[in-house]
Structure 1
């Protein structure tokens, strides 16, 4: 068989493999969005009409599949974050960043879970989370230096807000899907510098925060 004939024979196989991969991503997006990052991989494979072995050939780990499924959400989030960081007014940039974060969080339970947890075995997810933390630090610090946000708010306080909003999403998504936005703006009032009063409990350290996010990813 000539090299041209071999190439012609391989093209349908590559096309079939790409179609199976695309079906897996669509099924995973649907399942993760509905059930979160712990969704059944067997069900995803079944919905994509492929064998579970085929799923693992394309995506060796759950996190490989999750990142492929979340790619549109992550891109949407990144675009909104860049827009927020470009706003001249530090307070409005801070508000815009959090509104964008919670808007994307509310639309996808898998993304909600991803925001709330750490997966230390995955360099790719650690890189994404580290970038998000730097962005939060940047937008928060800028607003604090402008005197708009109380100086004792930390990254851990923002992550606590993400966790509480995630729980609200679970409770209200079917009946009051915008309830989390109200809660966000109530908290934003509490974050204003002129609202500041002494807080009896210090914020979590960075290590405590990291350990808590890892624990969420390993809890049964």
Structure 2
């Protein structure tokens, strides 16, 4: 029994370090986005960078651990919106919810553009979110409430536009955000005042988001 105590102690220390790293990364990503270095995160967590790297070999591993709950909430928001009796209210509530998530976390939009091949759970939540969003859009169109030329990529367009509020709004971002979202929702309502230009493909949209965040490779950065 005595021989097992050091192992238990080491495991407890390792778990405490892991939680400190995740907590520090969550704060930093929310405030500054995902561009911060692993060294800076280690310093804020008060652990050595080698300790951080043992737990999370790449930034993608750390980001996946930090944002798994947020990805689940993102998918859940769309699922909840599908239960609303009024299809338009469900759609608008979802857009407002996503804007609120983005407003409170600068790293949120960036995570939605990344791929996490080693994080099965996070990728599963993102796929679930995309499927729910597609159903939400189809439902609102079938009700005659959402303009017919709206596409799932337009949700990303909302996130891109709203990212400017999050990044540059400062103390009044909370006031600017609902006004921008209200303008956009009015533009999305059927039938629309004029035809829209052709929507970009999902691949084009994804690449534009990566360029916006200064990364042409996705989440595989260190």
TM-score (ref. length: structure 2):
0.87
Pick from 66, 70, 89: which aligns with 2:67? 70
1:118 counterpart residue number: 114
Structure 2 portions without partners, runs of 5+: 218-222
> Post-superposition shift, 1:214?
4.1
More relative contact order in 1 or in 2 (CA 8 Å, sep 6+)?
Answer: 2
1:25 aligns with 2:29: no
Give the counterpart of 1:212 among 205, 208, 213: 208
- CA contact 1:81–1:100 (8 Å) conserved in 2: no
TM, length-normalised to structure 1: 0.88
Shift of 1:123: 5.6
- Mapped partners of 1:215, 1:128: distance in 2: 24
Aligned alpha-carbon RMSD (Å): 2.1
Q: Does 1:89 align with 2:71?
A: no
- 1:149-188 matches, within 5 Å, as 149-188=146-185
Could you list the structure 1 runs, at least 4 aligned residues long, displaced by more than 6 angstroms after superposition: none
CA shift for structure 1 position 186: 0.9
Q: Can you list the C-alpha shifts for 1:187-211, whole angstroms capped at 9, x where unaligned?
A: 1111111334222x21112332233
Distance in 1, matches of 2:33 and 2:163, equals: 11
Is 1:133 matched with 2:109?
A: no
Equivalent residue pairs, number = 215
1:14 pairs with 2:11: yes
State the shift of 1:34 in Å: 1.0
Give the corresponding residue for 1:197.
194
The answer as to whether partners of 1:150 and 1:196 remain within 8 angstroms in 2 is: no
Q: Is the 8 A contact 1:85 1:97 kept in 2?
A: no
Q: Is the 8 A contact 1:94 1:139 kept in 2?
A: yes
What are the Cα deviations for residues 11-39 of structure 1, in whole angstroms up to 9, with x where unaligned? 11111111111110111011111110111
Contact 1:80/1:97 (<8 A) preserved: yes
